[in-house]
Chains A and B, each alone.
Chain A
Amino acid sequence: MVYLLRVLCMLAFVVLAPFVGGLLSGLDRKLSARMQGRIGPHVLQPFYDLYKLLQKQILVVNRYQVMLLLSFLVMVVGTGALFFGGFDLLLVFFVLTTASMFFVLAATVTNSPYAELGAQRELIQMLSYEPMILLTAVGFFMANGSFKGVDAFTADLPAIVKLPGVFIGLVFVLTIKLRKSPFDLSTSHHAHQELVKGVTTEFSGALMGVVELAHLYETVFLLGLVSLFFISSAWWSIPLALAGALLVWFIEVLIDNTSARVKWNQMLSSAWIITAVLGGGNLLVLEIIRMLS
């Protein structure tokens, strides 16, 4: 029964994530516009954009781009599927790292100056968020006694009760992962970008569509990760998790619209300090409590 449910969740992610992600993206644009005193596009605009992009001619600098980018997409979908299937979180994150690698390589294989610079920044972004992501998995292990996402559903209390520091740390680095200001260094959804389009400079047409599609999958997966903090064995934890994820999403949109892009060293040092102090500190306190009791 549980197995069937897990398989269904995986399938649901693969099929539905683009729609959920697209809707969120549309709401994001609408909300951002309102925050800036504009009317903004239709909520379904991201779907029209994606459809149009995928219809367009494929222009490439060299063949490897296509291969690496498609591998990236498959790995991202795989990451999310493994996550929603309730597998070991470390496994999920390792696959996520591998996926990001393919993305960076797809950009640099062109030998394009702007893409290469964007890719170097993307690497620094990975360097910034990766420790916190790993510590999040560790936090779940210490809270639920298991790395498996599915085991959160048997916990007495939502993990966030034990992991407030880890949660804040994750929300902090989520800004990097969701490509939101102030940490949208490698590429940005906004027009103001000092590196042309950074890491995505050499992707156009249908290939750009692939990048956008992967981003939708990634967004849903990351918000799923946030919602895992609220899951417990109680039934009300599921609506709570949805509400929690939406709240975090709103906070991210707000941060995006109220902050200016920082320099990479500010991103790196702030992310690492938050990770060490809030994430690491939280874990140490948790372990001390465990040893005392």
Chain B
Amino acid sequence: MEFCILLLILLPFILSAAQFATRSESARRILTYAGSGLVIANTLAVAVLWYTGGQGSVTLPAEGGLLTEAIVPFIGYGMLGVEILLLGVVLWKCISRRRFLIATLALAQTGLMVWLELTGKIHEGAGMIRLDRLSLLLCVIVGIVGSLICIFAVGYMKDYHHHHTEVADRRPFFFSMLYIFLGAMFGLVLSGSLVWIYFFWEITSVVSFLLIGYTKDDRAMHNAFRALWMNLFGGAFFAAAIAYSAMKLKTVNLQVILDRPSRTIGMVIFLLAIAALTKSAQLPFSKWLLGAMVAPTPTSALLHSATMVKAGVYLLLRLSPVLGGQVAGVMVQFIGGLTFFVASLFAITHSDGKRVLAWSTVSNLGLITACAGVGTAETVWAGAILLIFHAVSKALLFQTVGAIEHAIGSRNIEDMHGLFRRQPGLASALLIGIAGMFLAPFGMLIAKWEALTAFLTAGGISVLLVILVAFGSATTMMYWTQWLIKLLSVPAGTEEESDPTTRSQWLSLSSHIGMMLLLCAAYPFYSDWFVTPMLLDMGFERVVHVLSLSDRVVMVALLAAIFLIPAGARIFAKKIHFDRSPLYMSGVNEGDHRHYEDSYGQPKKMYLSNWYLAEVFGEQKLFTPIAWASVVILAIGLIVAFGGAF
């Protein structure tokens, strides 16, 4: 068991080194398939061992284990060394691009950590590594979704460099970074010590910077630096939280801190919450995630679904049992609710598929954030379910859009007109992914239902959140439906095109589709036998299921219905006789249903576009005022937290 847990963190790093050394395409393919297989197998092994081993929380170092207390300080120094190395990378990149402010930010926080460590301020207790249900859940998501994205990347990156000859082929570097990312995520969710979490936290910041800047062009570098400064800004708050807890609370173990009386830990919770908000791209820090799209698709899929942004909400969920009664909790729920609504408005205004996905990620994370901020058992329940469904559906969507981009040469929603006929396979994958994000009875909608009910059960100030969620649901419906419209509106005479998607890509896509449907169908069961004890694990005392069993059963029945109704209707439609009529075009249809006769008597091509309402909900118009509004919320939170802490 212990070996498997440690291997979970170490294996991706080993694979990363191996990837870095692998230069040939075929070797890389074998290595990625085998490596991802190993990571998945290892994740499942941990889950099975945990299940058979009594299902309790596992803390390391344990007596007589591999990780002894004697080794821990050396690991600490090792981490410090790596942190200084990372600082070196950041400084070098910043100085060569004249980004001195960012360099200062990096220098300050690493300096603070080095000072704390070397002056012996940090009292490393026991429990450096802690496996409980929440970390296990995250491990399974990272392990399975993350590994599948790596497999997807094999075929994708080959194709990518085939199309983008202007980008230097740095695939060994790219793949090694992907695996470092996975390793850092495992480390982050398995660590019990704030110092260790911080270490992996910083790795994800720096690696995401390197991945976003993969193409090295100006736009990529600009966006990469934006991601870097925002994440370092959050990292600074994290470092401050460590300094505060090391000096005032005399411990850096997260679980120990959470068990302290709530009035003594307000400041730590507040600082950590701000760090988490930056990581999960909440307002006003949302733009870095948008910028992350310039990177090749596997990067966005990884950053947006299973890793990076999930690190932020993971931390918030960890903090949620104490967030309830805190200033930080009020701040977090409002930032989350506001982000959920506003990001969905922005998603309406874009026709670039990846941008829509990015804003939708921000939006959904906002809902999870709000759930964690309210911090009752019911809302955290909804938050956890949202996290699970979002990871799988979003990974599926990003990969599908990436594959579509290669198939049709564009990721613009307008160019996906009639895709259902042109690329039935890819369009179906996209259709399922989109349905999963907002339609009854799929995952995200169930979770939203739970969230709404839970906010109301919590009562009080959360009623404001309910209003934001009501508006946000409508806007969410809008942007997904617009996309569906494009996929399904089929001009007459559209022919099927060949699908260049490789087998490795399809392997990942179909696994995600399978997982998503399975998650929806099995939802009434695992929500009871896994999520309830998980909340008890996290420190909630009484857990009542938000939705009654009958509601959940109706939902699953509906899941069957949503497939059976169109299928039945289709069979019925085949039986009845109908005649074709020409498309109504005010009598100027040229006969092919695609051209009309203009006023000169010439045929003109008809073009149908979606309505993106950019002049109403556009980023240009709304982003700045709303970002400032969220800054004000943060500032008020900061003032109140400081006032309460000292």
A contact residues vs B (CB 8 Å cutoff): 57-64, 66-68, 70-71, 74-75, 78, 82, 87-88, 90-91, 94-95, 97-98, 101, 104-105, 108-114, 116, 119-120, 123-124, 126-127, 130-132, 134-135, 138, 141-142, 147, 196, 201-202, 204, 265, 268, 272, 275-276, 279-280, 283-284, 287, 290-291
Please name all residues of chain A whose beta carbon is closer than 8 Å to the beta carbon of B490 when the two chains form the complex: 62, 64, 109, 111
Residues of B567-597 at the interface with A, using a CB-CB cut-off of 8 Å, are: 569-570, 572-574, 576-586, 593
**Min distance, Cβ A206 to any Cβ of chain B, angstroms:** 8
The answer to whether B580 and A61 touch across the interface, beta carbons within 8 angstroms, is yes
Interface membership of B112, Cβ < 8 A: no
Please name all residues of chain B whose beta carbon is closer than 8 Å to the beta carbon of A105 when the two chains form the complex: 484-485, 488
**Segment of B93-101, B314-322, B460-468, B523-531 engaged in the interface with chain A:** B460-468
**Min distance, Cβ B363 to any Cβ of chain A, angstroms:** 15
The answer to whether A111 and B569 touch across the interface, beta carbons within 8 angstroms, is no
Please name all residues of chain B whose beta carbon is closer than 8 Å to the beta carbon of A204 when the two chains form the complex: 581
Task: Report how far A146 CA is from B611 CA in the complex, Å.
Answer: 38
**Segment of B77-85, B448-456, B618-626 engaged in the interface with chain A:** B448-456
**Min distance, Cβ A163 to any Cβ of chain B, angstroms:** 14
Option from B471, B555, B584 in Cβ contact (under 8 Å) with A91 = B555
In the complex, residue of chain A having the shortest beta-carbon distance to the beta carbon of B348: A127
Please name all residues of chain B whose beta carbon is closer than 8 Å to the beta carbon of A283 when the two chains form the complex: 463, 466-467
Bitwise interface map of B from 542 to 582 toward A, beta carbon under 8 Å scored 1, else 0: 00000000010011001001100110011011101111111
Please name all residues of chain A whose beta carbon is closer than 8 Å to the beta carbon of B608 when the two chains form the complex: 111, 113, 116
Option from A59, A78, A95 in Cβ contact (under 8 Å) with B581 = A59
The answer to whether A64 and B463 touch across the interface, beta carbons within 8 angstroms, is no
Option from B459, B562, B580, B586 in Cβ contact (under 8 Å) with A290 = B459
Task: Report how far A58 CA is from B574 CA in the complex, Å.
Answer: 13
Task: Report how far A105 CA is from B573 CA in the complex, Å.
Answer: 16
Chain A facing B: main interface SS: helix
Please name all residues of chain A whose beta carbon is closer than 8 Å to the beta carbon of B466 when the two chains form the complex: 135, 138, 283
Please name all residues of chain B whose beta carbon is closer than 8 Å to the beta carbon of A142 when the two chains form the complex: 456, 463
Interface membership of B445, Cβ < 8 A: yes
With A105-B488, A111-B491, A114-B584 already in contact, the answer to whether A131 and B474 are too (CB < 8 A) is yes
Residues of B328-382 at the interface with A, using a CB-CB cut-off of 8 Å, are: none
Task: Report how far A63 CA is from B579 CA in the complex, Å.
Answer: 10
Please name all residues of chain A whose beta carbon is closer than 8 Å to the beta carbon of B579 when the two chains form the complex: 57-60
Residue contacts A-B, CB under 8 angstroms, 9 given:
A62-B492, A71-B566, A71-B569, A91-B440, A109-B490, A113-B608, A135-B466, A202-B581, A204-B581
**Min distance, Cβ B330 to any Cβ of chain A, angstroms:** 15
Please name all residues of chain B whose beta carbon is closer than 8 Å to the beta carbon of A101 when the two chains form the complex: 439, 477, 481, 484
**Min distance, Cβ B559 to any Cβ of chain A, angstroms:** 12
**Min distance, Cβ B629 to any Cβ of chain A, angstroms:** 16
The answer to whether B449 and A111 touch across the interface, beta carbons within 8 angstroms, is no
The answer to whether A111 and B565 touch across the interface, beta carbons within 8 angstroms, is no
Task: Report how far A64 CA is from B418 CA in the complex, Å.
Answer: 13
With A87-B554, A291-B459 already in contact, the answer to whether A196 and B578 are too (CB < 8 A) is no
Please name all residues of chain A whose beta carbon is closer than 8 Å to the beta carbon of B582 when the two chains form the complex: 61
The answer to whether A130 and B460 touch across the interface, beta carbons within 8 angstroms, is no
The answer to whether B565 and A75 touch across the interface, beta carbons within 8 angstroms, is yes
In the complex, residue of chain B having the shortest beta-carbon distance to the beta carbon of A106: B488
With A60-B578, A97-B477, A196-B584 already in contact, the answer to whether A109 and B471 are too (CB < 8 A) is no
In the complex, residue of chain A having the shortest beta-carbon distance to the beta carbon of B606: A113
Interface membership of B109, Cβ < 8 A: no
With A111-B583, A127-B478 already in contact, the answer to whether A284 and B464 are too (CB < 8 A) is yes
Task: Report how far A272 CA is from B562 CA in the complex, Å.
Answer: 30
The answer to whether A127 and B616 touch across the interface, beta carbons within 8 angstroms, is no
Please name all residues of chain B whose beta carbon is closer than 8 Å to the beta carbon of A284 when the two chains form the complex: 463-464
Please name all residues of chain B whose beta carbon is closer than 8 Å to the beta carbon of A280 when the two chains form the complex: 467
Please name all residues of chain B whose beta carbon is closer than 8 Å to the beta carbon of A279 when the two chains form the complex: 467
